[in-house]
Amino acid sequence: EPEVTQTPSHQVTQMGQEVILRCVPISNHLYFYWYRQILGQKVEFLVSFYNNEISEKSEIFDDQFSVERPDGSNFTLKIRSTKLEDSAMYFCASSDRGLWGYTFGSGTRLTVV
CB 16 to another protein: min, Å = 26
Q: How far apart are CA 18 and CA 23, in angstroms?
A: 17
Cβ partners under 8 Å of residue 19, min gap 6: 11, 13, 78, 79, 82, 110
CB 23 to another protein: min, Å = 12
Give the 3-state secondary structure of residue 85: helix
Site for another protein in 39-58 (CB under 8 A): 41-45, 48, 50-51, 55-56, 58
User: From the list 88, 107, 110, 112, which residue makes contact with another protein (rule: CB under 8 A)?
Assistant: 107
Cβ partners under 8 Å of residue 65, min gap 6: 46, 47, 77, 78, 79, 80
CB 94 to another protein: min, Å = 11
By C-beta, is 81 or 100 nearer to another protein? 100
Q: How far apart are CA 83 and CA 64, in angstroms?
A: 10
Which residues are near another protein by CB under 8 A? 31, 33, 35, 41-45, 48, 50-51, 55-56, 58, 89, 91, 95, 97-98, 100-107, 109
